[in-house]
Chain A
Amino acid sequence: MSAAERMQRQQNRTAWLFLLPLIIALFGVAIWPLARSIFFSFTDAFLDAPANYGFVGIDNFIAVAEDPVFWRAVKNTLFFTVISVGLETLLGLAIALLLHRAFVGRGIVRAAILVPWAMPMVVSTRIWEWMLNDQFGLVNELLVTLGLVEKGIAWTAEPSLILYTVIFIDVWVTTPFMVLLILAGLQLIPEEIYEAAEVSGVPHWKRFWSITLPLATPAIGVAMLFRTLDALRMFDLSYVLAANNENTMTMSIYARDQLISFQDLGLGSAASTWVFMIIGLIAIVIVGALRLDRTTG
């Protein structure tokens, strides 16, 4: 055995040793629980006595698929994800372009926009719930004063409005994250390209379309992927604002309801396995579309 081989083997041993705590911990909190969740989805176990189960095949999966409430939750989640990630991307791009320019106090502004992002989602939800209160909320007061509406709108109670309210709050919370990632992407674009374009007299809008946008696309794509996967598992915002109101119920709320509120371990696990499969499928489609494997090397 050559010295180089011996060194490589020793390095491998060291690497496994350093990775051991990570592997054990992630096995304990992620892989094993995931496997058990999938396992339970084929049983009729209940939460109070999980050891007491029988196998029921795919009955639970069928039961979830036949529940209109589940499909309502899927529809809500997808609608929420598409609209809010779309709006966050546009708003995030606009704000990033603005903050990318040089102005006095830029550092402070960049720090300040982290505020909504650093708050617990529960807190943001509560603050907006208060501002959007139908009788005493600031937003309605403002609208009434300006004469735009005659009396306050029940933003958080009106079934046709509440999902839009959820989207609005989510956009406020997560736009800073989008801004930061897009800003980082913009900073990677070399200044020389713009100088060259300017010298050749390329107009502003064309510089944006054919330089800024294409070169920032990888950063925007990654940011959108993260936000999409995050939005698809959204739980706290809807739960705090409306608990299990069917107009805002997300897939995660539906699955947790079956599992914890109804104590149905089998059915709840099947619901969460459905969620897992739906999100997994969407992730595969997006990663394929973005060809992330290429852009991030």
Chain B
Amino acid sequence: MAMTTTAPARRYSNSTYRTIRRVRTFGLYVGVAAVLVYMLFPYYWAIVSSTKSGQALYQFSLLPSPDFSNYWQLFHNPVFMGALVNSGLVAFASTMISLVIGILAAYALGRLHFSPGRIILIAVLMISIFPQVVVLSGMFEVIGWLGLYNRPSALIVSYLILTLPFTTWILTSFIRDLPTELEEAALIDGCSRLRVLTHVLLPLMGPAIASTGLLSFILAWNEFLFALTFILTDENRTVPVAIGLLTGSSRYEYPFGQIMAASVTVTLPLLVLVLIFQRKIVAGLTSGAVKG
């Protein structure tokens, strides 16, 4: 049912078989279209709504209108623009730190014959399934000691609990899949392990690093709980929190046009990156999980 095209049962005549096949193909495309509408329509509707303001927002036309006042207001809103910058910086910095630490660790875990490696890998996996709330009070204290409370850098530190186990785990499985011959040759020639990693493996790992980095960036960019807790003032917030806390002056004056414009803006860069790197992302997502 799943992968093979169906064989004609012998009792059917050729034309009946053709009809059956047509119906099947038609059904397949209808199904695919339904899936696409289900997955994509809400985002499309956010785009449509973001181009409407005032009364137009409450009329149901399926096409966007050329009214960009919501975006204009958003881009002149210093709090939102600041939040965009904060989100970008925080997500970029924690991704970079996680990649460097993760690559070093992945080499040790994936390549060196090292018996405690398996225990460490399991510990890393267990940390990645921690409910974040359980480290909240301890993390609060660590952030206080470091003097980072209410600073975006508090998030760079705390996001390592999300991004680091993830990069380590996925890069380890990527390194294991690479052929060993080149490294062995380099080692026999007397290269140090670090040099093997930076000069032989790293160039081969480009695609893996790009996709792992992108996934880790998305994790950090989308995080909400720590960003809500460790940041007090508007100018230091990240975008998800800014959108999460965006409310109108009263319950009945909910700025949905604005919220939709902000939602589209925040998601667009991610979508572009995801669509460009989709093959790599799928490989990254599934390598850790399915191959184990």
Interface residues of A, Cβ cutoff 8 Å to B: 8, 11-12, 14-16, 18-19, 21-23, 25-26, 28-37, 39-40, 47, 50, 95, 97-103, 107, 109-116, 118-128, 130-131, 133, 136, 138, 141, 172, 175-177, 180-181, 184-186, 188-189, 191, 194-195, 198, 204-205, 207-208, 212, 218-219, 222-223, 226, 229, 232-233, 235-236, 239-240, 251-252, 255-256, 259-260, 265, 268-269, 272-273, 275-276, 279, 283, 295-297
Contacts and interface: CB of A to CB of B under 8 A. Distances in A.
Given A114-B281, A235-B133, A275-B134, A101 B3 contact: yes
B17 interface: no
Interface stretch (B63-71, B74-82, B157-165, B178-186): B157-165
B3 A279 contact: no
A180 B2 contact: no
Nearest to B160: A29
Contacts, number: 309
Given A15-B117, A115-B43, A181-B290, A37 B267 contact: no
A195 B131 contact: no
A133 B259 CA distance: 14
Interface of B: 1-7, 25, 28-29, 31-32, 35-36, 38-40, 42-43, 45-46, 49, 57-58, 60, 97, 100-102, 104-105, 107-109, 112-114, 117, 120, 123-124, 127, 129-142, 144, 157-158, 160-161, 164-165, 168, 193, 218, 221-222, 224-225, 228-229, 239-241, 243-244, 256, 259-260, 263, 266-267, 270-271, 274-275, 278-279, 281-282, 285-286, 289-290, 292
B80 to A, nearest CB: 13
A229 B128 CA distance: 10
Contacts of A251: 131, 133
Contacts of B140: 47, 50, 259
Contacts of B244: 122, 125-126, 236, 239-240
B131 A279 contact: yes
Which of A119, A226, A295 has the largest count of B CB atoms less than 10 A from its CB?
A119
Nearest to A40: B137
Contacts of B274: 111, 114-115, 118
Contacts of B157: 28-29
Given A11-B112, A184-B290, A256 B229 contact: yes
A33 B32 CA distance: 46
Nearest to B103: A18
Contact of B285 (A23, A177, A272): A177
A296 B240 CA distance: 35
Contact of B240 (A11, A122, A131, A283): A122
Contact of B135 (A18, A33, A113, A181): A33
A233 B132 contact: yes
A30 B43 contact: no
Contacts of B2: 97, 100-101, 186, 189, 194, 207-208, 212
A297 B292 contact: yes
Contacts of B218: 118
Contacts of B267: 118-120, 123
Given A95-B35, A138-B45, A110 B282 contact: yes
B284 to A, nearest CB: 10
Contacts of A186: 2-3
A8 B109 CA distance: 15
A47 B113 CA distance: 46
Which 8 A-B pairs rank lowest in CB-CB distance, beginning with the nearest? A33-B138, A296-B292, A36-B138, A233-B131, A184-B286, A18-B108, A236-B224, A111-B278
